[in-house]
Structure 1
Amino acid sequence: MKTESFRGRDWITDLDYTKEELETILEVAFDLKRKRAVGEPHRLLDGKTLFMIFYNQSLRTRNSFEAGMFQLGGHAHFLDPKKIYTPALPGREIAYTTERVSDVARVLSRMGEAIAIRCYGEPVDWVYGEADKMIREFARWADIPVINMEDDVYHPCQGMADIMTMIEKKGPDLRGKKFVMSWAYSPSPEKPLAVPQSAITVASKFGLNITLAHPEGFELDDNIIDAVKENVRKYGGSFEIVNDMKEAFKDADIVYPKSWTSKHFIPPESPKPDFTKIKELFEKNKDWICDKEKMAIAKPDAIYMHCLPADRGFEVTDEVMDGPQSVVFDEAENRLHAQKAIMALIMR
């Protein structure tokens, strides 16, 4: 168990952390979950402050961080970018409306112990990687840890809740288990790539046999794919990409069907976001839904996962989401425990 390498570090992507460090986070998360279950106080961040900046709406992320900080003895400040001078990168500034990220980061560093940011999509004009760039700019200037609550490339907090849930349901040794990260249809094409990308980068350090399934046109970031392949080479397991949902689900232990947009029709691959073309691509693949027929292709004890909110009737049927194989609410709860572990370790 590695414990000495966390204090003061940023949490932007799980790729910045070793497998041993991720295992430490999980051990702490399980311990904090037990403590909460039995009512054992754990005020590990007594009197400390987390600043949360949300450019996008949130249910699970905001409440898990806010509740988590309270349970750890601290306080989380919710900052609406529209109600403060909106933090902006150079070149995106508007007089008396925005404030440069470097200035915001240094001010908040004098007043609290960490800054957490969620940003993707419209706030950065759907330029892929621009939100991640902004979070890294916060980290460059802040003297306190910066936590990524989801950007346009990574969602490492969700990734840790996902792997925690897999361990709870499938045992501590995930080697050889088949994990399917699949695209699924939604009427809304405005969904970032962060969740599937972090799901497979985390999983690739735990020996799973990973199948990434999506129709043509929904490819993930090449850098993410390369990182997953390298992790598989180093830690074991396997990785494949298929373009057939039914083929992917065959003999799966864990299925995670979720919608994401096409990076081919947003900048920098496209001069500007073209949601008309993305929508056309979506509509060609309406049969990519997780229903009882597809669950029947997986193993009888397979679990269904989703980060939520799920588009019922499109990504998944009610029968599956509310059925016995669904673990989505355990997964949502584990956001609380995983994030508490991350905060307890880096904000000490």
Structure 2
Amino acid sequence: MEKQKVKHLVSLSDLSNSDIDEIVSRGADFSSGSAQMNNLLTDKIVGIYFRKTSTRTRTSFSSAALRMGAQIISYGPNDLQENTGETVQDSTEVLSRMLHCLVARTAGSCEEMRCFASQDKMAVINAMTAKEHPTQAIADLITIRRHFGKIEGLRIAYVGEGNNTASALALSLSRYSGVKLCFYTPKNYGLDQVAKECAEQLALQSGADIKEYHELKDIDKETDIIYTTRWQTTGTSKPDPNWRDAFEPFKLTSKFMSQFTNAVFMHDLPAHRGEEVDAEVIDGSLSIVFDQAENKLHAAAAVLEWCLCEKVNPLSKSETSDVHYSLIAN
């Protein structure tokens, strides 16, 4: 059998609509319990490389890989010889001969992640760069599908900095017909322009609607989801010492949330109660943030499987309606 080319998840912009829907659907199956992770990655070795702090993403990929039968090697920010001057290219060449997959959080440029993915032996998964957090968006879409039973046609308001989570949401939700996604960002802290333009092009094809505003007003009262993130994104800093003044009008208070009929609240965590959101909101009955956090495990499992397992179509619909996966030889 010819060896299948390895798959990478560097940016959601690299994936087709069907790729994203396949990963999200599989993650929803893991989340609901209708699919099991057992032994899907037996004999695989997954490198977990995090230069920046992480609770959910690092734990979710480590836990998913172990549950799926893989072994893991964890690297901290000071563990690789990059710190002594080794080039990313040399590190990539070595790691790709020893690992089946590298899950990396650099919080740096996407170009470095693409360098990791410049070979065809080792799958590379972006666990967060400065401009995009793709696996967070996968977890978010799984959460939305599990809660609402669909993604198409929903109305989502994102409030806060146009950070890497916001970019990933734009690049993923723009694929779904009828989605209305509005970003409410402080002036000078808006969406990455490249991600925004890409999302707008994707929305033209799907029939979604992507808009960005710099004032928090005139939000549709029938909005289905209110989403925010912490104001100080992991691994970043703001040059303006008075940046909080621009963010204060975007705080999500109980009074603000009371204007919506049925909206649920989402947050990618970690949260700073009393800063970007009131404790009464994130800990209230409309919050689904911990379901969202748990779904990072299911998103990690779905992404690992998509990258490392070859999908084998059933011989005939009469024999089975299930999708089967086999390990990619490597």
**TM-score band w.r.t. shorter chain:** 0.7 to 0.9
Alignment of 1:77-92 (within 5 A): 77-86=73-82
1:76-114: per-residue Cα shift (whole Å, max 9, x none)?
A: 211013123136xxxxxxxxx132111111111111201
Equivalent residues in 2 for 1:116-265, closer than 5 Å: 116-120=103-107, 130-141=108-119, 143-172=121-150, 174-183=151-160, 193-207=163-177, 208-248=179-219, 250-259=221-230
Q: Is the 8 A contact 1:182 1:212 kept in 2?
A: yes
The amino acid that maps onto 1:63 is T
Partner of 2:40: 44
Q: Structure 2: how far apart are the matches of 1:162 and 1:41?
A: 20
For normalisation by structure 1, the TM-score amounts to: 0.81
Aligned ranges 1:105-124 → 2 under 5 Å: 105-120=92-107
Aligned-residue RMSD, C-alpha: 2.2
Shift of 1:259: 4.1
Determine the structure 2 residue equivalent to 1:15: 13
Per-residue Cα deviation, 1:217-275 (whole angstroms, up to 9, x for no partner) = 1122111111111111101121221222243363311111224569xxxxxxxxxx984
Indicate the SS of the match to 2:186: coil
Quick one: structure 1 residues 215 and 81, their matched pair in 2 at CA, closer, same or farther if it must change by over 3 Å?
closer
Tell me: CA distance 1:8–1:41, structure 2 relative to 1, closer, same or farther (3 Å): closer
TM-score by length of 2: 0.86
Secondary structure of the residue aligned to 1:287 is helix
Query: Do residues 289 (structure 1) and 251 (structure 2) align?
Result: yes
Instruction: Write out per-residue CA displacement over residues 274-330 of structure 1, whole angstroms, 9 at most, x where no aligned residue.
Output: 8442x31322431321111111222x2211111100111101111010111101101
- Residues 1:243 and 1:297: Cα distance change in structure 2 (over 3 Å): farther
Shift of 1:7: 5.7
Equivalent of 2:58, from 59, 62, 68?
62
Shift of 1:8: 1.0
Identity %: 25
> 1:142 Cα deviation (Å)?
5.8
Contact 1:49–1:112, Cα closer than 8 Å, also in 2:
yes
Show structure 1 runs of 5+ residues with no match.
1-5, 88-96, 121-129, 185-191, 263-272
Name the amino acid aligned to 1:311. Answer: H
Tell whether 2:302 aligns with 1:341. Answer: yes
Report the 3-state secondary structure (helix = DSSP H, G, I; strand = E; otherwise coil) of the residue aligned with 1:86: helix
1:41 deviates by 5.8
- Residues 274 and 113 (structure 1), Cα distance of their counterparts in 2 relative to 1, 3 Å cut: closer
8 A Cα contact 1:52 1:116, kept in partner: yes
Q: Residue 343 of structure 1: SS of its match in structure 2? A: helix
Unaligned residue ranges in structure 2 (runs of 5+): 310-330
**8 A Cα contact 1:7 1:345, kept in partner:** no
Q: Does structure 2 retain, via aligned residues, the 8 Å contact 1:312–1:318?
A: yes
